[in-house]
Structure formats: structure tokens, C-alpha cells
């Protein structure tokens, strides 16, 4: 899983203090001011183009990380020649993609199955 810096992406509600995810990221990485190297290393855009195929699954109704953020990553990665695919799951939110009981879970399994 990648770490997204919501503030820099211009996501409403992002920042310190802000969303629960921001607090968890801060606890894991430190703040952008106290640990800038860790934040740079965790930024998926700075790792473009990836050296391996990238498969992304994003919930259409994700209010934590809007699909537009993932779309921007995909466009830039493809522009640089990366093998990137994005599957947007209709009706799925942010957390339903990691819940095996969710109707969105089969989309994750199909994506993973395509990697083996």
C-alpha cells in the first residue's frame, strides 16, 4: 500500500491535524517536517516509473482518497511507459476493498489472480 500526502494533493480535509489516516501516517512516518526523507521515499509519484507492473483497485465512492488522485498517478505512470492498470469498483468505498465480506472483495481476488 502506498502513502499519499493528502495535503499536497489538495484533498479537502487533509493535513495535520486532519483525517484519521493522516494521524496514522504521522505515527508511522513522522510528520513531513520532521521526517522529509521518509515522506519522499513513501511517495509513489517519486518512484515513477515503477520497475514492476502495477495493478490498482480503487473504490468509486472512496471519500478518503478520491479516484482523481489515482487517475493522476496512472496518467503520469503511463506517460513514462509503465505497465499500470486501474480497476474502479462501482459502489465501493475506501475500506470495502480490504474487507473479505464486502461485495467489492471479488474484484481484489480477480486482480490478484491476474498476477500469478
Q: Is the pTM of this model over 0.85?
A: no
In the chain, where the domains are located: 1-47, 49-116
| Residue 59 in this model has a pLDDT that exceeds 90 | yes
- How high is the pLDDT of residue 35? 83
Task: Centre a 10 Å sphere on the Cβ of residue 17 and count the other Cβ atoms it contains.
Answer: 8
Mean pLDDT of the chain: 80
Under the banding of pLDDT at 50, 70 and 90, the label for residue 24 is low
Mean pLDDT of 1-10: 47
| Residue 21 in this model has a pLDDT that exceeds 70 | no
List strand residue ranges (DSSP E) for 45-91, in order: 54-59, 84-89
- The Cβ-side half-sphere exposure at 91, using a 13 Å CA radius, reads 5
Amino acid at each position: 500500500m502506498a502513502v499519499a500526502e493528502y495535503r499536497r494533493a489538495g484533498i479537502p480535509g487533509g493535513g495535520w491535524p486532519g483525517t484519521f489516516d493522516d494521524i496514522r501516517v504521522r505515527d508511522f512516518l513522522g510528520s513531513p517536517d520532521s521526517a522529509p526523507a521518509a515522506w519522499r521515499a513513501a511517495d509513489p509519484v517519486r518512484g515513477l516509473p515503477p520497475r514492476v507492473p502495477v495493478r490498482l483497485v480503487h473504490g468509486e465512492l472512496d471519500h478518503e482518497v478520491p479516484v482523481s488522485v489515482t487517475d493522476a498517478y496512472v496518467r503520469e505512470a503511463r506517460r513514462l511507459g509503465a505497465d499500470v492498470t486501474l480497476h474502479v469498483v462501482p459502489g465501493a468505498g475506501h475500506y470495502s476493498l480490504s474487507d473479505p465480506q464486502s461485495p467489492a472483495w471479488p474484484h481484489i481476488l480477480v486482480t490478484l489472480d491476474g498476477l500469478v
